């Protein structure tokens, strides 16, 4: 059968807000044209993020009831530890309340001002946690990885030659770990090949540098490997994940993604000394080693989530749903970053609204128009998020001007996706009406969260 179906049925429903176009014009104006400032009860379909927005299964909810809320030695922790040890092979599984806490603790163990940490592309919290300690965070994507118009299988790969040059230049003693983010979130949710991970491991081993995975979307990445990389077609997702983790010396994870839950994270480690140090920071800042800032019922939900995410029927639907949205809109000529990745569709605002220069925020204009058209929330990833102004007041634009629609896991149905595509296509047909925007207020850091906008 060719039709992609949701591999679940609905047991409990959550009503979504239905609003009119004139309501939405008012709501957006009141939010100063910033989608982060919209109340969620004014949003019909919410693609702001796929983080922590997952629908849990009835099995997960059943296990939540069975959570053992003991402070120390909870049986819920041992379930969580067992499934993660099975998948990752790491000796230590240290729970945290979300991904950035795992990063903060790991970097607190290994980082100082003299250090450099390379990655295919650092996620913003990873970069933030490194820079907070004075560590230099270096991105090493491949050339095709930063070109939105090139179709390729593994655009998330790290540039191994560039990595070798960097190690030679700064010296292995200044690089405590090398990281690879699977899938490469900031690079469009693009997968990393097993070969790239294996070759990276080979290289860094020669210098005695450990390899760490930022493995928020490890299962989605493994599904792409199974689909696209020779030699993996007959392996299970779990086997592929086990091989992938076998090349790593540790990992950090936001379980709000492929943990199929609403909160959680962990650090995986083999190094005894680092694990001891991480546990000290954990106890001081997150909680005891058998809960790490989480309710034990969350660990129960995660233990089931980590099993469910390995299900190939689920992953086929998951990756297929993202592709479906991409296909529906590209079929009508809407320009997007290709190919679609594991968790989101990115509209290419430069080609979508070429009449709006980056300094007038084309992505923001598109994101606002899609909200007004269909009550759909997306987020600009371009000049608003990463643009800078030089000393002469000139705008310095980032490489790409994108609008991201991140799809929550197991939340929306095929008709929701069709409705979303319809709204985007309508906006695209009327793209000449999109207007230039300006920022009327911005905070000194991470301005996109709280900026205010208006039309020019
Ligand atoms: C979400 C994310 C993080 C941070 O995790 P939080 O749970 O939001 O703190 C780190 N790395 C990547 C690749 C992510 O997608």
Q: At which of 256, 277, 308 does a domain end?
A: 308
- Residues 415-444 have a mean pLDDT of 96
* Residue 266 domain-assigned (yes or no): yes
Q: Distance from the CA of 100 to the center of ligand 1, in angstroms?
A: 6
Which domain covers residue 376, as residue numbers? 21-50+311-455
Q: Is the CB of 189 under 6 A from ligand 1?
A: no
Helices in 286-393 by DSSP H: which ranges?
296-308, 312-330, 349-352, 362-374, 383-386
Q: At which of 285, 308, 331 does a domain end?
A: 308
pLDDT in tens, 203-230: 999 999 999 999 999 999 999 999 999 9
* Residue 288 domain-assigned (yes or no): yes
Q: Distance from the CA of 314 to the center of ligand 1, in angstroms?
A: 21
Whole-angstrom Cα distance, residue 377 to residue 41?
11
222 shares a domain with 149: yes
Compute the CA torsion angle 246, 247, 252, 256 (nearest 10 deg): -60
* Residue 91 domain-assigned (yes or no): yes
- Considering only CA atoms, which residue is closest to atom 2 of ligand 1? 254
- How many helices (H) and strands (E) the chain has is answered by 16, 16
Q: At which of 266, 292, 308 does a domain end?
A: 308
* R_g of the chain computed on alpha carbons: 22
- Residues 364-374 have a mean pLDDT of 98
46 shares a domain with 70: no
* Residue 15 domain-assigned (yes or no): no
| pTM, rounded to two decimals | 0.96
CATH of residue 128 = 3.40.640.10
281 shares a domain with 175: yes
* Residue 9 domain-assigned (yes or no): no
Q: Is the CB of 100 under 6 A from ligand 1?
A: yes
Q: Is the CB of 181 under 6 A from ligand 1?
A: yes
pLDDT at 399: 82
100 shares a domain with 36: no
Q: What is the DSSP letter of 442?
A: -
Whole-angstrom Cα distance, residue 216 to residue 213?
9
Q: Is the CB of 254 under 6 A from ligand 1?
A: yes
How many structural domains are present in the chain?
2
Closest atom, ligand 1, to C-alpha of 98: 7
Q: 103 near 125, Cβ under 8 Å?
A: yes
Q: Is the CB of 46 under 6 A from ligand 1?
A: no
Whole-angstrom Cα distance, residue 28 to residue 23?
9
143 shares a domain with 115: yes
pLDDT in tens, 263-273: 999 999 999 99
Whole-angstrom Cα distance, residue 71 to residue 32?
44
CATH of residue 340 = 3.90.1150.10
372 shares a domain with 232: no
| More confident of the two residues 98 and 387 | 98
- Residues 349-378 have a mean pLDDT of 97
pLDDT at 124: 86
- DSSP3 helix / strand / coil % (the chain, rounded to 5): 45, 15, 40
* Residue 158 domain-assigned (yes or no): yes
pLDDT in tens, 10-31: 999 999 999 999 999 999 999 9
Q: 55 near 250, Cβ under 8 Å?
A: no
pLDDT in tens, 153-200: 999 999 999 999 999 999 999 999 999 999 998 778 999 999 999 999
Whole-angstrom Cα distance, residue 124 to residue 385?
11
């Amino acid at each position: 059968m060719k039709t992609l179906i949701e591999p679940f049925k609905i047991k409990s429903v959550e009503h979504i807000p239905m609003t009119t176009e004139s309501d939405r014009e008012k709501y957006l104006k009141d939010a100063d044209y910033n989608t982060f400032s919209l109340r969620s009860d004014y949003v019909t379909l919410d693609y702001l993020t796929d983080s922590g927005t997952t629908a849990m299964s009835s099995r997960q909810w059943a296990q939540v009831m069975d959570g053992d809320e003991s402070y120390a030695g909870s049986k819920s922790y041992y379930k969580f530890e067992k499934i993660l040890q099975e998948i990752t092979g790491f000796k230590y599984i240290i729970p945290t309340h979300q991904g950035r806490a795992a990063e903060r603790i790991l970097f607190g163990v290994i980082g100082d001002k003299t250090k450099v940490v390379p990655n295919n592309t650092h996620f913003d919290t990873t970069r933030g946690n490194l820079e907070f300690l004075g560590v230099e965070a270096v991105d090493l994507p491949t050339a095709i990885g930063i070109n939105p118009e090139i179709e390729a299988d593994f655009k998330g790969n790290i540039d191994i030659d560039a990595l070798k040059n960097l190690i030679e230049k700064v010296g292995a003693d200044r690089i405590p770990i090398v990281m690879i983010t699977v899938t490469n979130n900031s690079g469009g949710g693009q997968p990393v090949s097993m070969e790239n991970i294996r070759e990276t491991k080979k290289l860094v081993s020669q210098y005695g540098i450990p390899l760490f995975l930022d493995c928020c979307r490890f299962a989605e990445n493994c599904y792409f490997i199974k689909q696209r990389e020779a030699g993996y077609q007959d392996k299970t997702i779990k086997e592929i994940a086990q091989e992938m983790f076998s090349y790593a010396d540790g990992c950090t994870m936001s379980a709000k993604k492929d943990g199929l839950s609403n909160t959680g994270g962990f650090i995986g480690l083999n190094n005894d000394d680092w694990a001891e140090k991480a546990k000290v920071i954990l106890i001081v800042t997150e909680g005891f080693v058998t809960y790490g800032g989480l309710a034990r019922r969350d660990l129960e939900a995660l233990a089931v989530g980590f099993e469910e995410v390995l299900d190939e029927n689920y992953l086929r639907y998951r990756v297929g749903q993202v592709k479906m949205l991409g296909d529906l809109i590209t079929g009508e000529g809407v320009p997007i970053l290709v190919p679609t990745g594991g968790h989101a569709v990115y509209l290419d605002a430069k080609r979508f609204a070429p009449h709006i220069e980056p300094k007038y925020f084309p992505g923001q204009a598109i994101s606002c128009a899609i909200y007004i058209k269909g009550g759909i929330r997306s987020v600009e990833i371009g000049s608003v998020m990463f643009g800078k102004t030089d000393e002469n007041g000139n705008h310095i634009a980032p490489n790409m001007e994108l609008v991201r629609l991140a799809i929550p896991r197991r939340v929306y149905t095929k008709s929701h996706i069709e409705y979303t595509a319809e709204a985007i296509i309508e906006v695209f047909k009327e793209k000449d009406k999109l207007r230039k925007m300006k920022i009327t207020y911005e905070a000194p850091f991470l301005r996109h969260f709280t900026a205010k906008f208006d039309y020019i």
